[in-house]
Amino acid sequence: MSHLGIKQSMSTAFHPQTDGQTERINQILETYLRAYVNYNQDNWVVLLPIAQFAYNSAVGESTKESPFYLNYGFEPTAYGEPRAGPAAVKAVASVRQIKDTQENARKELEFVRQRMTKFSNKRRIEGPTLKEGDSAYLVRRNIKTKRPNDKLDYKKLGPFKISRVISPVNYELELPETMKCHPVFHISLLEPAPRGTRTNDLIIVEDNEPEYEVERIIDHLKEPEGYQYLVKWKEYGHEDNTWEPAKNITNATDELARYWQ
């Protein structure tokens, strides 16, 4: 590697930001799979090659060329006409389905790129303007559903109707009976929904209040009122890491001892 002028910077499991390019691609592909995977999340293997092809054949913002073209010097041919024969009708239907799925994938990936560009240089995003009767998406932070994989689960639930404005920053939502949680949420967890957007009827959260287990303590800060710890929660991604006071992690004595070794 050194003879080629390449310097290796190894990433760790608890600081994947070192490998930022790979992390960004993973986030884009996860977003695509999250949009098209079925409720039981057991068809992601079938969707992954289509997601990969959609990403590799999409024109990049910086290079103005697709990764496939930069690698091979030509664009892939994906939708050729099948040869005549008994299987032709079925093949045409399959090609059309794949073409539609890949076109939707490209649109989804483009949406993700635009969203990343929009928020990448913003340190603070002001809360949305919402009023009683509006519909809003609920960011699924610390709400665990019964779907198998958290990474491919919904990032937003709803939309739900705002039944009451309790304060400028707290709103009460009309939640379905399957959601066993308190209906009042901070504005930072809400996003305005377009009019006429249909609510997902398959939202089923755990019957009991979720319990969060500390997987790893990553960092700490010394504040006037005591220590604050940056916590990685078990079965949650790094995007859900939170700063917690020592009193909130009293059940993680072993991990605290390991951290201070």
What average pLDDT score do residues 60-78 get? 80
pLDDT surpassing 50 at residue 123:
no
Task: Provide the pLDDT for residue 94.
Answer: 66
| Residue whose C-alpha is closest to residue 136's, from 188, 96, 173 | 173
- Please provide the average confidence, as pLDDT, over all residues in the chain: 74
User: For residue 241, what are its two tokens?
Assistant: 């890491």
pLDDT surpassing 80 at residue 124:
no
pLDDT digits (tens, 9 = 90+) for 158-208: 889 999 898 887 888 998 877 777 788 888 788 888 877 666 655 555 554
Whole-model pTM: value is 0.40
Q: What is the 3-state secondary structure (H, E, C) of 218-256?
A: EEEEEECCEEEEEEEECCCCHHHCEEEEHHHHCCCHHHH
Task: Provide the pLDDT for residue 162.
Answer: 92
pLDDT digits (tens, 9 = 90+) for 206-256: 554 445 678 889 988 888 888 888 888 877 777 677 888 888 888 888 889
Residues 6+ apart with CB under 8 A from 128: 136, 187, 190, 191, 192
Task: Provide the pLDDT for residue 108.
Answer: 64
pLDDT surpassing 80 at residue 19:
no
| CB neighbours of residue 32 within 10 Å | 24
Task: Provide the pLDDT for residue 163.
Answer: 92
pLDDT surpassing 70 at residue 74:
yes
**Considering only 70-79, 134-143, 200-209, 244-253, which range has the smallest mean pLDDT?**
200-209
Cβ pair 230, 240 in contact under 8 A: no
What average pLDDT score do residues 114-122 get? 55
